[in-house]
Amino acid sequence: MSTTTTVTTVQREQTLGMNLESRIGHLDKHGFLFGKKLAASMSPLLHQVVYRGLGLHWEQIRLDSTDMDLFLRLIRDPRFYGASVTMPHKVAIIPHLDELTEECRDVGACNTLFLRHLPDGRRLFCGANTDVIGIRESFVQNVSDPSVYENRPAMVVGGGGAARSAIYALHKWLKATCIYVVSRDRSEIAAVVAECTKRSYGARLIHVETAEQAEALEAPGAIVACIPDFPPVTEGEKELRRVTEVMLRKDEKGAILEMCYNPSPYTALGALAESEGWQVILGTEALIWQGIEQDKYWTGRDTSELPVAQVKKTIADRLAGISKI
């Protein structure tokens, strides 16, 4: 890196730090949404509804940065309450934390930083994974008859961090008999299977590579789609779409959670699933329930004490301005 580039980066981060200080000065407590490409995130809006409903003078502030050192300095502020951690930091943050919840440890990714206070006044920085709760509650709260997905195969489309969270939730809580995993990249699935096996929940994963293989399999009752809403271009992407279409067109239907909600939760895959008779659960449902779980950590309140109805209405109002495809 050139000297000029280094100076520019330092200046940019110094400016960011000063801007943050001016924003948090009037707050009782503050948190962060730490990651990249945060402009369209509804996370700060969701949490603001909660804090306003509880009468808290708190705010979650977007920290659009790759500077881990800056983040680790900022969280030392005594008024810091916690943070949402998103890509590309969900794995990178883990070595900097004092404790991990079971879900965070087993998935191998952290999307929530919270504090634990010791009797001697010290604060421990702890990591949780509430993405798994968001996926679980998306089905539990929206599918009236759990037999739609319980004791049936499930399917996860994609091989990234969200896919790992989906596998964990389907395995631990949603009673999947086995989990079909589908990706455009064979090595990506191999890595997922290896990691899940290492963490003791990979035995029932079945890599579905072709549409012909999919034809011979029992229909899934739950599908979690963890891929961007782009038309398939490569041969791997086209085969992934063919596999998904085979599953959607089987006689037995179920519920699909479409995790993609940016820039719109109304995706081409969701539209196809709906046309084939599936119940489509928007990705904003996972956002809501993982966010509510975060606020349980941060505020110490139970779900029944949080303004869940107001959160759902606010997100619904935001979605009302987005057209279906």
**74-114, pLDDT tens digit by residue?**
999 999 999 999 999 999 999 999 999 999 999 999 999 99
**130-152, pLDDT tens digit by residue?**
999 999 999 999 999 999 999 99
pLDDT recorded at residue 234: 92
Residues of each domain in the chain carrying CATH 3.40.50.10860: 19-129
Contact between residue 156 and residue 189 where contact means Cβ atoms under 8 Å apart:
no
Q: Decide if pLDDT at 5 tops 60.
A: no
- Span 270-281, average pLDDT: 97
Fold of 19-129: Rossmann fold (3.40.50)
pLDDT recorded at residue 4: 53
Question: Which of the residue ranges 17-31, 51-65, 142-156, 206-220 would you say has the lowest mean pLDDT?
Answer: 17-31
pLDDT recorded at residue 40: 85
More confident residue, 250 or 25: 250
Q: Per DSSP, what are the bridge partners of residue 154? A: 179, 222
**214-244, pLDDT tens digit by residue?**
999 999 999 999 988 888 999 999 999 999 9
Q: What are phi and psi of 193, to 5 degrees?
A: -60, -45
CA dist list (Å): 200 to 99, 136, 193: 20, 19, 10
**Could you report how far apart the first and last alpha carbons of the chain are, in Å?**
44
- Average pLDDT for the chain: 92
Q: Can you read off the two tokens belonging to residue 13? A: 């981060």
Among candidate residues 239, 241, 221, the one with its CA nearest the CA of residue 178: 221
pLDDT recorded at residue 247: 98
CATH architecture classification, 133-283: 3-Layer(aba) Sandwich (3.40)
Residues of each domain in the chain carrying CATH 3.40.50.720: 133-283
